[in-house]
Structure 1
Amino acid sequence: MNTDPFDTGPTGKFRTLCQKYPDDTVYRGADGFRSLWGPIFYRGRANGSARLLVIGQDPAQTEAFTRRILSGQAGRRVQGFVEKLGYTRSYLMINAFVYGIFNQNMAMPHLNDPEIQAYRHQWLEAAFAKGKIEAVVTFGNAAFNAWTAFKATPAGQAVTAFHQKALHPTADKPGGPITRKDLLDNWNVALNKLRPHIQNPDVSKPLVPYGNDFTAAELPAIPSRDFPMGLQPWMRNTDFWAGMSDPPGTERANISIVVP
């Protein structure tokens, strides 16, 4: 008998935000968004109990199936990061964009469009409403810029949680200017700056820095409690099982699944 816990869903203001959200007249395919797969809102505790807030960029192919953000390669890397801080459950992860992007150059100029920004600010206001968030980490420039825009608002100015910027979890793309070691060195700096502000971790343990590459333990399976009921283990403990189909179709919306 399988007894894995599962995400029972958002509550309160978070639930309302998942019921009323910007549609494809705001996140248009013509503007670079993969709107045909719909919005993907969060991962973690959308119920006011989170102590750590993680902000990413946008959901990709894997997330279109799991219906939770940061659930592919980037998600497992981030999971290892938050667990180094002692968080095994008390976190909330949201993205700058609730729809996937298929063209960065087209989509990024819309980061702070009024409707997109206003909806994102409502999520951030809900996250801080209970006063439990101790720290915020933004992964990548879009996340950092989204956080900066929120901090300029009256609600954002009232937030006292410590913020740390970090490189995007997949910034070490092959042939790019950022190497794996660059990424992990940056994350070590972020961890060391965040650690003194963590007062209520789920697990108390010494901070172990990254080396020159990820170890298996630093790429953990994402907990079943972060996903809808019935999601299979291979979907949360393996990478690259979802990718673009050939042909990719309108808005690169066609996705191919390979079961390991």
Structure 2
Amino acid sequence: MAVARHFAQLPSYAEYRKLFWYDWGPVFYRGRLNRTGRLLGIASDPGPTERIAGRTLVGDAGQRVQGFLSKVGLTSSYTLVNAYAFALLPSHAQDAIPLLSEPDQLQWRNKLLELITGPKLQAIVAFGVQAKTAVRLWENRPDVPVFEVPHPSSRSPKVLLDSWRAAVTELRGIVTPDPDGDPGVPNYGPKFLETDYASIPARDLPFGVPPWLGDDAWGRSDRPKHNNSVERPSTDLRNTLIWRAPKHA
């Protein structure tokens, strides 16, 4: 498969390893890779839950994005990737931006985007600054509407909700919903609610993962609250992950 071969040709991040959780390796995508996606979503980088799943946007941020897709009426016809294939250390976010323009990385990323998008594409959504930059650097970008919205982990909830609400409203008039989708569900209100999340479909995850992976509603209602089942302990941020299962599982 051409996409798999392209994944294997990812340019080295070794020169920039201090900016990333480098030792955990890359995480590439979630969703459809066969050029059938009607919406392409680009975020910034995979996190700890994504590393466990081997798929991007499956943790708390990913479940917010899944809710966003659900409000547009999409249940399967989407493709999700990131500006970086490695998890970025938040404190080095600004330091990593030049990497997006580095010729080998730029060429690899743009070819990937071309391999996974096709004539059915109707819209592109860039979640966050890193993704916006990556989209703007895509020279042969398809002639479809591009929406630049805050990252799902934005610390400015009102800005996020106002932007996502407006984007959903416009996208409902652009993107054809899936047969089992419902673009008539409520749009975002003044606060982000549990009903604004959606669990990650099993089809988007590797076979054999626990059935609760990709649905952290149990953690968000737990005490103390935790929004992800996987976390990086402060005692060893770069090389240790802690994975927690719900007690009822």
TM-score strictly above 0.5: yes
Gaps of at least 5 residues in structure 2 are 217-226
For residues 163 and 185 of structure 2, the distance between their equivalents in structure 1, rounded to whole angstroms, comes to 15
Contact 1:162–1:194 (8 Å) recurs in 2: no
Deviation at 1:106? Answer: 2.9
2:173 is aligned, of 196, 200, 204, to 196
Find out whether 1:140 has 2:128 as its counterpart: yes
Secondary structure of 2:236's counterpart equals coil
For residues 132-170 of structure 1, the C-alpha deviation after alignment (integer angstroms, 9 at most, x for no partner) is: 1111111011101110110xx2x22xx112111111101
Write the mapping of 1:196-215 to structure 2, written as runs, cut at 5 A.
196-202=173-179, 203-206=181-184, 208-215=186-193
Secondary structure of 2:203's counterpart equals helix
2:202 is aligned, of 220, 224, 230, to 224
Aligned residues: 233
Deviation at 1:243? Answer: 1.2
Find out whether 1:25 has 2:20 as its counterpart: no
Contact 2:122–2:144 (8 Å) recurs in 1: yes
Q: Which residue of 1 aligns with 2:149?
A: 166
Contact 1:127–1:133 (8 Å) recurs in 2: no
Find out whether 1:242 has 2:219 as its counterpart: no
Deviation at 1:19? Answer: 2.6
Q: Which residue of 1 aligns with 2:119?
A: 131
Gaps of at least 5 residues in structure 1 are 1-11, 173-177
Task: Out of 96-105 and 204-213, give the one that drifted further.
Answer: 204-213
Q: Which residue of 2 aligns with 1:95?
A: 82
Q: Which residue of 2 aligns with 1:70?
A: 57
Contact 1:164–1:193 (8 Å) recurs in 2: no
| Cα separation, partners in 2 of 1:93 and 1:218, compared to 1, 3 Å | same
Secondary structure of 1:208's counterpart equals coil
Contact 1:85–1:201 (8 Å) recurs in 2: no
Deviation at 1:246? Answer: 4.1
Contact 1:33–1:101 (8 Å) recurs in 2: yes
Deviation at 1:60? Answer: 1.0
Contact 1:97–1:116 (8 Å) recurs in 2: no
1:116 is aligned, of 105, 111, 114, to 105
For residues 200 and 194 of structure 1, the distance between their equivalents in structure 2, rounded to whole angstroms, comes to 10
Secondary structure of 1:165's counterpart equals strand
Residue type of the alignment partner of 1:19: A
Deviation at 1:185? Answer: 1.2
Find out whether 1:48 has 2:25 as its counterpart: no
Secondary structure of 1:169's counterpart equals coil
Q: CA RMSD in A?
A: 1.7
Deviation at 1:204? Answer: 4.7
Q: Which residue of 1 aligns with 2:245?
A: 259
Secondary structure of 1:236's counterpart equals coil
For residues 32 and 108 of structure 2, the distance between their equivalents in structure 1, rounded to whole angstroms, comes to 18
TM-score normalised by length of structure 2: 0.87
For residues 233 and 193 of structure 2, the distance between their equivalents in structure 1, rounded to whole angstroms, comes to 30
